[in-house]
Amino acid sequence: MKIHGYEINPIHDYLWEIPRQGGMRVPGRIYTSRKMLEKFLAEDESIRQVVNVAHLPGIQKYSLAMPGIHWGYGFPIGGVAATDVEEGVISPGGVGYDINCGIRLARTGLEYQAIAGKLEKLVQNLFQNIPTGVGSSGAIQKQSAKEIRKILEKGSEWAVEHGFGTPEDLEFTEENGRMSQANPEAVSKRAIERGLDQAGTLGSGNHFLEIDVVEEIFDPRVAEAFGLFPGQVVLLIHSGSRGLGYQVCDDYLKIIMQASHKYGFTLPDRQLTCAPIQSKEGQDYLGAMAAAANFAWNNRQIIMDLARRTFKQTLNLSDRDLDFRLVYDVCHNIAKIEEHEIDGRKKTVCVHRKGATRAFPPGSEKIPAAYREVGQPVLIPGDMGRYSFVAVGTEKAMQETFGSTCHGAGRVQSRKKALKAGKGRDLIAELHKAGVVIQAKGKRTIAEEMPYAYKDVADVVEIMHQAGVSRKVARLRPVGVIKG
């Protein structure tokens, strides 16, 4: 099959390969189905970005894409690439502007009947207590620049130290909520200024807080390990590093753009601008990116605890009766130094995951001890009108994708097209009819994020399940949503 002039051949029904050509250092590989290839990639030029990423110096094995793939800055959203830590490069386009945008799943001991009569009030109170939208601020007291630097260093630990959650939450957060290589000194004054009043804020666009009900269990053993049961009320939080992370990306794109010229890299797209990992520019970016990632983990930790307090207050429950606990927090816009087996030997690489989720297998020491028999939780949100999924990582992910899987549905309509499609429709009423109570800053955001703007996440999750990269554990149905 040819798409946009590129030959793409099936490895099996759910994996397709673009052979090396021109300056490609490795083949491109896309996890998808024939139906998705013909329906979506023929209309979207993100396949060209998979090819472009394959030109990066030091790239290992493949330029990879998950089934939620769509056009992004430099890398496609849904792109994964690992580069040799000694001879390879780091590219901010492989992380994106919203550094450590990620998903957090908390569970309660409640069944849906316990909240049904107070659902609208619960959604209203969550919307009131958790600031949302562009430039949102004020969840907690505005911090000084000195305190922001502590957040950049400590991540979720800062939130727990200040009464937002418990030490147990850190155990169930990727990297324990803190990347140790964070370097607050590599973060600009402007980036810090943008973060002064944004700790504990949800942001806008596709970020959300969602009350869900566990609708179906696919793997009872793994679901039990994660503490999930049918009919259970759970909470999904999708947010990132806000304006601070955006500024870090913007700052380093300019710095590394100059570095690319200095190091003599020739790449097919200037948005793939990169620097050697071991260079000053590369190390500074890694330190700043890790600091922004810590800001994001701290952000989600505070939001979760504000939500816990809101549940208690609205439902008039004790901590014991609510039984609110973090299942896991995983990021999907990050670059991390990890060890993987390549050509039969262990190698240290920098894994870029942009719109892709870590999916480590049973036995991994990088996941909580409570989950080591079953594997790492993988959290895959859909759109606010249908469903989201919990999955689990596998050994095949380590063999094929550097321990990575899909992160969500992936857009099929731009925000502009989605707005046009929603013109004249009562979208709030449509969601209400589907059983979803929503609170948002404005109708524009609702239109941009309606289900018709996205692929069906069930198809995306099924592809990775059939490919054996991640396995389905549970399906969640949204009943209450707040958005910016």
What's phi and psi for 307, nearest 5 deg?
Answer: -65, -40
- Rg (C-alpha) for the chain, rounded Å, is 21
What's phi and psi for 101, nearest 5 deg?
Answer: -60, 135
Q: Rounded to whole angstroms, what are the CA distances from 398 to 28, 271, 342, 445?
A: 17, 28, 10, 37
Q: Chain-centre distance of CA 259, in angstroms?
A: 28
Establish whether 4 is a catalytic residue: no
Query: Choosing from 55, 238, 332, 407, which is the catalytic residue?
Result: 407
Q: Rounded to whole angstroms, what are the CA distances from 2 to 34, 38, 53, 118, 237?
A: 12, 10, 19, 53, 39
Residue type for position 253 = L
Helical H segments across 85-217, by residue range: 113-116, 119-129, 145-154, 156-161, 167-171, 189-195
Distance CA 470, CA 463 (A): 9
Q: Which residues of 153-173 are buried (b: 16+ CB within 10 A; e: fewer)?
A: bbbbbbbbebebbeeebbebb
In this structure, are residues 54 and 76 in contact, taking their beta carbons and an 8 Å threshold? no
Token pair for 262: 């200095």
> Which residues are part of the catalytic machinery?
407
